[in-house]
Structure 1
Amino acid sequence: MSNNVSAKIGKGISPQQFQQSMTKNQAQFAEWFDRFAWQTEEDKQFFESLNNRDDLRCLIIAADWCGDVVRNIPVVFQVLENSGMPVEVFIKEQHEDLMKDFEGKGIPVVIFADTGGFVLGKWGPRPAHVQAIMTEFKASNPDREAPDFQEKMAAVRSQMVQAYGEDTGYQSVVVSELRELLSSF
């Protein structure tokens, strides 16, 4: 993982520009965005308290075709909206250099850095309980060329959808994980 993203600060697009430029999944993204609700007043106040800090920046690597982006980034946008923290989005295919710096192909990657670009922490590509399913799958199925790989991948994606759940309950997990991460610096 790269320790500094200063060369990228100021080169991304705004959350609004990302949403407006979506050519895929825009309606689903908007639906998850609109369905967001704070589960606790304490969580809301924590993110609002970040207005007292001017040392944080958020860089998000995303793409509109990705289901995890469609599910998770509306939550990230909502919780950071009132934080006063500058948020920039980087389209994965246009910023492969940044993607390589953050270990792999999984998106979204939510990077928190200080004003000098020093990386303080990252979140993503999905809540820990959903990511655990993919981590287990990759450990058990290292050969992407295996004849049954795609079939197994389809099954694991189905398990991940079930782990997210049909409603917005997973959103409070994302909020909690982001709060825990931001509380650590």
Structure 2
Amino acid sequence: MIKNIGDWLGKGISPETFMKKMKKNRDLFESKYQLFHLTEEDEAFFTDAASKNIRCVIITADWCGDAARSIPVVFQIMESAGIPIEVFIVDDNPDLIDQFRVLGGRSVPVVLFTSDNGDVLGQWGPRPAYIQEPMVEFKALGLDPESEEYQTKIMDVRKEIVRRYGEGAEYQPLVVKELRELLKEIS
């Protein structure tokens, strides 16, 4: 069954409003935004995808390091292609994020592609698959969140995730590639 978020459409904020309201991770977000450049081939692909009347809904938060790295890429792709975007802040929209949990949690960012009436056609996030691998492996361990082992291992996982992102824009082509693959599947 296809999920529908039609009741949510039109109630989010614009990317510009999200960026203006950022209180955390603003410098990281802006630096990743400046580093991103879309190739002509990718721009043509996403522009073609826009002709299929899709929308982009992003569930995110300024406190999220993954969002500060990936959402600048998503914003620029969607803006370049002319795909309508709206943003929902996770802390203000628990009912929305609960429909799109990742590995059992309220992981953000979540990027949704919908039809004009709100049928969810595809979902991406919270990070590229290669960067997500350590978290998937960690969650598979099924550790008790109250245990010392959990606390030690989660810190190691977070360090590995940051290492995989790298210092510059090395990860950004992964976001582009995965969004292209997702849009190929749904169009």
Return the TM-score normalized by structure 2.
Answer: 0.93
What is the match of residue 44 of structure 1? 43
What is the match of residue 60 of structure 1? 58
Secondary structure in structure 2 of the residue aligned to 1:184 = helix
Which of 9-18 and 165-174 deviates more? 165-174
**CA deviation map 1:136-162 (0-9, x unaligned):** 011114311112222211111011111
What is the match of residue 85 of structure 2? 87
Q: By how many angstroms is 1:70 displaced?
A: 0.4
What is the match of residue 165 of structure 2? 164
For the residues of structure 1 that align with 2:161 and 2:134, how far apart are their CA atoms? 7
C-alpha contact 1:36 1:168 (8 A) present in aligned 2: yes
Q: Map 1:1-185; keep pairs closer than 5 Å.
A: 3-38=3-38, 40-53=39-52, 55-103=53-101, 104-185=105-186
> What amino acid maps onto 2:45 in structure 1?
F
Give me the CA root mean square deviation: 1.4
For the residues of structure 1 that align with 2:170 and 2:119, how far apart are their CA atoms? 32
C-alpha contact 2:43 2:81 (8 A) present in aligned 1: no
For the residues of structure 2 that align with 1:167 and 1:24, how far apart are their CA atoms? 19
For the residues of structure 1 that align with 2:67 and 2:50, how far apart are their CA atoms? 25
Secondary structure in structure 2 of the residue aligned to 1:111 = strand
**CA deviation map 1:25-50 (0-9, x unaligned):** 11111110011012x42112111223
Q: Relative to structure 1, is the Cα distance of residues 80 and 109 closer, same or farther in structure 2, using a 3 angstrom cutoff?
A: same
For the residues of structure 2 that align with 1:181 and 1:136, how far apart are their CA atoms? 23
Aligned residues: 183
Secondary structure in structure 2 of the residue aligned to 1:148 = helix
Give the gaps of 5 or more residues in structure 1.
none
> What amino acid maps onto 1:167 in structure 2?
G
Secondary structure in structure 1 of the residue aligned to 2:4 = coil
For the residues of structure 1 that align with 2:82 and 2:33, how far apart are their CA atoms? 18
Q: Relative to structure 1, is the Cα distance of residues 164 and 118 closer, same or farther in structure 2, using a 3 angstrom cutoff?
A: same
Return the TM-score normalized by structure 1.
Answer: 0.94
For the residues of structure 2 that align with 1:2 and 1:27, how far apart are their CA atoms? 37
